Amino acid sequence: MLGIFGTISNPTSYASNQGSGLFALISNILKLAGVVAGLFFVVQIIMAGFGYIGANGDAKKVDLAWAKIWQSLIGLLIVGSAFVLASVVGRIFGIDIINPTIVGPGGK
């Protein structure tokens, strides 16, 4: 007998190879860290912009705002470079570091 809502199927397509779940989890955590870093960058730039606007010509506050802007840009550059470096290294060695494929026992 079907319930009120019918049948529910799993919308995800996780690999069924033994041991691949850990690598998928690590890959997803790294991707999430990249997204969080990008959102943090946007918030920091907005806050630095408000600090710059609110400086009212005070040289010390303007310098602090510019320092925050530069630090945010450098942080975003480091996070982006890590993903680019991982992709380049993966291409050189013929492995997909960003989205790994794990082959389990039996070659499946």
Residue-range domain boundaries for the chain? 38-101
Q: Give the distance from CA 84 to its chain's centroid.
A: 12
So what's the pLDDT on residue 14?
56
Query: Is the pLDDT reported for residue 81 higher than 60?
Result: yes
Contact 79, 37 (CB under 8 A): yes
Q: What is the mean pLDDT of residues 52-79?
A: 91
Residue 19 is which amino acid?
Answer: G
pTM, full prediction: 0.62
Which sign, positive or negative, has the C-alpha torsion 16, 20, 22, 28?
negative
Q: Dump pLDDT digits (tens) for 9-34.
A: 766 665 555 556 666 677 778 788 88
| Size of the chain, expressed as the number of residues it contains | 108
